[in-house]
Amino acid sequence: MNVLHPALTSGRTAVITGGANGIGLAVARQLLGLGMRVCIADRDEAQLQVALEQLTGDVSGYAVDVSDFSAVERFRDLVFERHGNIGFLMNNAGIGGGGGAFKRYEGWQRVLGVNLWGVIHGLQAFVQPIIDQGTPCAIVNTGSKQGITNPPGDAAYNLSKAGVRSVTESLAHELREIDGCQVTAHLLVPGFTYTGLIKKHVPEKPAAAWLPEQVAEELLLRIGAGDFYVLCPDNDVSVAMDHARLQWNSSDLIENRPALSRWHKDYAEEFATFMDGVEKSRGQI
């Protein structure tokens, strides 16, 4: 029998930003099934209404732009006033389409505003009041594998998610150092997931992708086990493959290889040989 995080109990309140679709919506559905009150926030008011019509239980929706700190503070005040004790906070709102290292300045501003500052705003607004409750709570920030391996393409998105990883690691340490604190932090790192961001470009779910519901189930399972890093596989990339890629990426610095050598033509054969070796040693990737 799977063990739930002690904060996920009937009657307590869950707060999820970016909760109108994708992973956030799937987590909301799971928590409603546990009897929790769920507050979903999203800046897309039309999609927010669609989500509310899909959900069953004690659920409420709030139009919030997480890149605006004052809006997040107002949202926090409404949640505590209307619903009381918070047992789950998920800073999940995210967008793509940033830009390269020296291109699309406006994209950088937009993506960092939501993906990174949105998480920071959520932490700055909610964490101290949650600690002051003196009750268990799980705080989940949604990261990305792109924030760890930094693949070429959308440098702005990668940086935003790398920042989420960094601040969440710091949060976990700081909470752990507070005597008697019952609040835990967790970094969700989804694999290839068929969310709204993907649906805009791919009308049908690719075979390689997980559904948001699978990510939500994995998240609740892993935080119940006390895991900080919730690194999710998908139907194409196994946990062993993820670990090998992370190891190679970290070794760029240790071995002084060119940046992002995994995608460097001069290292293509060496990387392939490395992955083959991992497959043989672990039996499966």
Instruction: Return the active site residues.
Output: 157
53 contacts: CB under 8 Å, gap ≥ 6: none
Distances (CA, A) of 99 to 103, 113, 146, 200: 6, 13, 14, 18
For 219, half-sphere exposure in the C-beta direction (CA atoms, 13 angstrom radius) is: 32
**Comparing C-alpha atoms, which of 224, 255, 226, 229 is closest to residue 242?**
229
Per-residue tokens: 85: 């004790």
Concatenating the DSSP letter of every residue in 222-236 gives HHHTT-SEEE---SS
- Kindly give the pairing relationship between strand 86-91 and strand 59-63: unpaired
Asked if 43 contacts 66 with a C-beta cutoff of 8 angstroms, the reply is: yes
205 burial (CB, 10 Å; 0-12 / 13-18 / 19+) is middle
